[in-house]
Amino acid sequence: MLLKSLATLAASALFAGQAAADSLPEIEIVGNKFFYSNNGSQFYVKGIAYQANTDNVTTGSTINDPLANADACKRDIPYLQKVNTNVIRVYAINTSLDHSECMQSLNDAGIYVIADLSAPDESINRDAPTWTVDLYQRYKDVVDELANYTNVLGFFAGNEVTNNSTNTDASAFVKAAIRDTKSYIKQKGYRNIPVGYSSNDDADTRVPMADYFACGKDSIKADFYGINMYEWCGSSTFQKSGYADRTKDFQNLTIPIFFSEYGCNEVQPRKFTEVEALYGSNMTNVWSGGIVYMYFEEENNYGLVTIDNNEVSTKADYSYYSSEIAKVSPSIANTKSYSSNSSATMSCPASQKYWKAATVLPPTPDSNICGCMSAAASCVVDKDVDEEDYQTLFDYICGEISCDGISGDGSSGTYGSYSFCSAKDQLNFVLNLYYESNGKSKSACDFSGSASVQSGSTKSGCSSILKAIGTAGTGSYSATSVGNSTETKSSDSASGSSISTSTKKNKSSSGSSQKDGKDAATGSSSASSTSGSSSGSKNAAVSNMRVNIFEILFTSILTISVAAGLGFALA
């Protein structure tokens, strides 16, 4: 069914001469459910993934940012409202662009945003995971850009980073990103914005991964958990689809869980008969709704609408989804009467055949530490050496000396004190270590003109840091004081115990993206998400190094034209 006139009809009712609505109430978490902060009623996610591959690209940017295109937002919002959308998921934003107009329009339409913190070229690489200064800065920039919009429901710190049993170590780095993002939000004095994770639905890892991200104390664990779920294809049932089994898998999870993507397209058009089950009594005690993948039609044939010359046409999928979502009426809890299991502490999954992520997490990235080390180095990489050529130097040097100081192992939980530094800083460290281990011979700092000797200097406040970390880069430190910046440094394990940010010699060891490219830590109790128990070479990280506050005041309430046939659905 085509609704070409809908945008024109609704635009005048929604945007012509209308005053802005009051800020949407924040969504808060109690136990394993979402609630409106203003009245305590339960919130179910009725969402749509909203990010096109070709929306807008700024010079030098690979991010197509839907929240920066105000005209497209206003064009699409009536179609989102027509299917009772209260959440959109965006996979990457360009932090250099303005998002206020689109975010205001979404607010006025009663729509919240869950934003991924990563970007296509700035994410944790599942094959060589690191949590670096640069990546942490990216996450902080996104938080700074969106924190003061109350219709930001939360952030995803990763999307399908661990996707099978061969790369579970990457989850330790994602959990460190969750820990540090939550800490940054608190440090900046922002409201308590939830930070979660979006997983794939891998049979071997789905249960231990959920337990891993939900375990530990509040400062470490994910606030919510999403699963990209594509088990219900065509005509199916709660039992036959696997939904019954998945609901049983996560029945004891202590944080909200929802479908961060759903909508299998093996049978087309998609009739979305799973919607009735997802919001029905069999699932709502465990699940908090879901996000349909996706709004825009692209090569993968998952779209609800097509866009041609800025004109929106709805597909059959849109009509079927509209019909199904309109039928649902999930039971609503209230914080006043809701008895949660929020006091329960999830037990972290033990290391086993399919799960090997450590509960000791990587240290918090700190550029001051890297700066102290690089400035003090006597042998450093020449400024004319291209970063693409660093790997040749890493390969040689790390074959001659230990590179534990820059390595990180998410399976064993051992991380060098400089494992979060930039590729240049890390190369300076190992070049200098090689130089010193060879008696500071001039020939040991040449590498065919790629390195040279400098007069290293210890910056103010760096002496105690460098001494604590040690020559090998594997020591521990508890505090830094660099210039005017003083920070207490401690890295929590997933059990919530305080440990030093880098403590042991690293044992030898051998991402997520904007969208997933679909084809046509130990707790004190024994709780787990299921009813049963759930139980060499230098780190590859060295080869993968690429990696104020304004109050928004909304003062008036939106009046929606009845003639436009649009609903202001908050639940």
Summarised one tens digit per residue, pLDDT across range 288-301 is 999 999 999 999 99
How many Cβ atoms are within 10 Å of 501's Cβ, its own excluded?
24
Phi, psi of 112 (to 5 degrees): -95, 165
Mean pLDDT on 254-277: 98
At residue 134, φ and ψ (nearest 5 deg) are -65, -40
> Parallel, antiparallel, or unpaired for β 479-482 and 485-488?
antiparallel
Of the options 3.20.10.10, 2.60.120.370, 3.20.20.80, 1.10.40.50, the CATH number for the domain spanning 27-326: 3.20.20.80
Distance separating alpha carbons of residues 492 and 175, to the nearest angstrom: 11
d(CA 161, CA 145): 24
Range scoring the smallest mean pLDDT among 226-235, 368-377, 489-498: 489-498
pLDDT in tens, 510-553: 354 445 556 553 333 334 565 433 333 333 333 333 333 333 33
The residues, any chain, with a CB within 8 Å of residue 433's CB and separated by 6 or more, are 397, 401, 405, 471, 472, 473
* Catalytically active residues, by annotation: 160, 261
pLDDT at 188: 98
Q: Give the per-residue pLDDT at 102.
A: 98
What mean pLDDT is predicted for residues 294-310?
96
pLDDT at site 252: 94
**What's 367-469's CATH class?**
mainly alpha
Give the model confidence (pLDDT) of 90-115 as tens digits.
Answer: 999 999 999 999 999 999 999 999 99
Question: Residue ranges per domain, the chain?
Answer: 27-326, 367-469
Three-state SS for 484-515 is CEEEECCEEECCCCEECCCCCCCCCCCCCCCC
5 falls in which pLDDT band (50, 70, 90)? very low
Choose among 286, 315, 288, 289: nearest CA to 302.
315
Q: Is 2 exposed, middle or buried (0-12, 13-18, 19+ CB in 10 A)?
A: middle
**In this predicted model, what pLDDT tens digit does every residue of 368-421 receive, in sequence order?**
999 999 999 999 999 999 999 999 999 999 999 999 999 999 999 999 999 999
Average pLDDT over residues 183-212: 98
Percent of the chain beyond pLDDT 70?
Answer: 78
Q: Is the pLDDT of residue 19 over 50?
A: no
Confidence check: pLDDT of 12 > 90: no
Mean pLDDT, the chain, rounded, equals 84
| pLDDT tens digits, 437-476 | 999 999 999 999 999 999 988 988 899 999 999 999 999 8
pLDDT bin (cut points 50, 70, 90) of residue 486 is: very low
